[in-house]
Amino acid sequence: MNDLAQLFVRVLARAEQEFPDLPPCVGERDVADAEAALGFTLPPALSGLYRQVANGGFGPGYRLLPLTGPGRTAVAEYGPLRTATCAYWPRGVLPILDWGCGMYAAVDCVDPAAPVLLFEPNAVPDDWADAWFQDSPSLAQWLTAWLDGTGWWEEHVMLADETAGPAPWPAASHRLAATG
């Protein structure tokens, strides 16, 4: 079993323990339809998560958005963020979790490492690039932080004096400039 498969086993075990009413997984066709609607391919870690764990409904905070289906989904959220407010949402960055207050966790599907980004627009003075942070270098590491209770969103981590929050996303300015 590879590292990603082992991670999915761990994520599924915690998800089933904490969230007994998990939605069913999506199928290959659902992923293909989502990719066609989005205009980009999902990284293996993200498509595998939706195909092997559940169609959202688990994870930190307010839980992962479903990939597809009725209501709020990652695919449905991406469209309005890209068309109505394109000035601050880069192409290929898929929102996967709504933290509330306009904040999102999102996966950069254009970067092969699939980093998880934090969009925090609430204190942006002039430059939308300042609203983007790299939460984790990869989705796998972000999920591991959730499993291990070490993510910045954990109360004991936030309150620790030595905790540094997510760093600014180095590619934000470049990606936003190319987002038109």
- In tens, the pLDDT along 137-163 reads 999 999 999 999 988 888 887 777 666
- Read off the CATH number of the domain in which 40 is found: 3.40.1580.10
Query: Beta partners for 133?
Result: 118, 168
The residue length of the chain stands at 180
Residue 68, pLDDT above cutoff 60: yes
**Confidence class of residue 79 from pLDDT cuts 50, 70 and 90?**
confident
CA dist list (Å): 69 to 40, 58, 72: 18, 16, 8
Q: Which domain holds residue 81?
A: 3-177
- Beta-sheet strands, E only, within the chain: 93-100, 103-108, 116-119, 132-136, 167-168
* Structural domain count of the chain: 1
Distance CA 5, CA 142 (A): 15
Give the pTM: 0.94
Residue 15 in tokens? 């998800």
Residue written as tokens 């430059």? 127
pLDDT average, residue stretch 31-49: 97
Whole-number mean pLDDT of the chain?
91
Residue 87, pLDDT above cutoff 90: no
In this prediction, residue 27 carries a pLDDT of 98
Residue 37, pLDDT above cutoff 90: yes
Distance CA 78, CA 89 (A): 9
CA dist list (Å): 66 to 15, 24, 40, 42, 56: 14, 10, 17, 14, 4
